[in-house]
Amino acid sequence: MELVVSELKKSFEHQQVLRGASFTFQKGHIYGLLGRNGAGKTTFFNCLNGDLQTDAGSALLRKENGVERPLAYSDIGYVQSVPIVPDFLTAREFLKFFLEINRDRIRDPQSPDAYLDSMQIAAEDRGKLLRDYSHGMKNKMQMLIHFIADPPIMLLDEPLTSLDVVMAEEMKQLLRRRRESHITILSTHIMELALDLCDEIVILHKGVLSPVIREQLDDEDYKNRIIAALKEDGNG
């Protein structure tokens, strides 16, 4: 399975953010989408997710048999940088509601507490309103519902930035365990995180996508060119 992005373009008034972004993302890999804040990473995700209409280009899902089709809403799990959860529900109520409305699409459903166990949400926190959760805990809940729905493509917009060291390591381990059956794209402006977690790194620079050759990052000139490219962006 592959996510094939071809010549994706998106502008806002006179500002062109995506200028023909193309790349093929493969199942079984965690990709680091590297770019400084403002480079257009969130715009790229919103175009893939269908929240933004693109000006040109396409994003297709290519199955193992070579057949391609447009992305469907159910193909994508989008974990946003600012977690969106219903603050008026407890964690347990939220999961119960989510499981009920998605019962036809969830394989081998478990109890809310079993899912909360998997995310290491403490028993005493499960009856708390989500509005009383920390940013990092809300982020874990947002990730959890996408893990339950289990779409083939996961888009993670700066997902670990708000987490403490222990929680961030827990999330890394979860993502590594899921990599084989998914296409995972994680946006970040932190090179060290991309190198630590991701199998491949793609840089979004001047509205286009280019692979970063990890083996050449030991070359100081090559690394400096990547860093210089990141510094040039900041307008999307």
- State the total domains in the chain: 2
> Would you say residue 235 has pLDDT above 70?
no
What's the average model confidence in pLDDT over 203-232?
A: 82
What's the average model confidence in pLDDT over 160-183?
A: 85
Domain assignment present for residue 222? The answer is yes
183-212 residue pLDDT tens: 999 998 888 888 889 999 999 998 999 999
pLDDT at 233: 59
Domain assignment present for residue 113? The answer is yes
Is 154 found in the same domain as 126? Answer: no
1-14 residue pLDDT tens: 999 999 999 999 88
Last residue of a domain, one of 98, 132, 166: 132
Domain CATH code at residue 24: 3.40.50.300
Q: Torsions phi, psi of 73, nearest 5? A: -55, -40
Is 108 found in the same domain as 11? Answer: no
Is 120 found in the same domain as 20? Answer: no
Is 165 found in the same domain as 80? Answer: yes
pLDDT at 232: 67
Domain assignment present for residue 142? The answer is no
| Cα torsion 25, 212, 28, 155: sign | negative
Domain assignment present for residue 71? The answer is yes
Distance, first Cα to last Cα, the chain: 29
Domain assignment present for residue 145? The answer is no
Q: Torsions phi, psi of 90, nearest 5? A: -80, 165
Is 159 found in the same domain as 60? Answer: yes
204 residue type, one letter: L
Structural domain span for residue 70: 2-84+150-232
**What crossing angle do the helices spanning 165-178 and 135-149 adopt, rounded to 10°?**
10
Domain assignment present for residue 181? The answer is yes
- How far apart CA 127 and CA 134 sit, in angstroms, is 14
Domain assignment present for residue 96? The answer is yes
pTM score of the predicted model: 0.89
Residue whose C-alpha is closest to residue 185's, from 204, 206, 169, 207: 204
> Would you say residue 236 has pLDDT above 50?
no
49 near 38, Cβ under 8 Å?
Answer: no
pLDDT at 88: 96
What's the average model confidence in pLDDT over 157-165?
A: 79
- How far apart CA 64 and CA 83 sit, in angstroms, is 33
193 against 59, higher pLDDT? 59
42 against 236, higher pLDDT? 42
Residue whose C-alpha is closest to residue 113's, from 145, 80, 141, 91: 91
Is 73 found in the same domain as 11? Answer: yes
Is 155 found in the same domain as 74? Answer: yes
Is 110 found in the same domain as 15? Answer: no
Q: Torsions phi, psi of 35, nearest 5? A: -175, 150
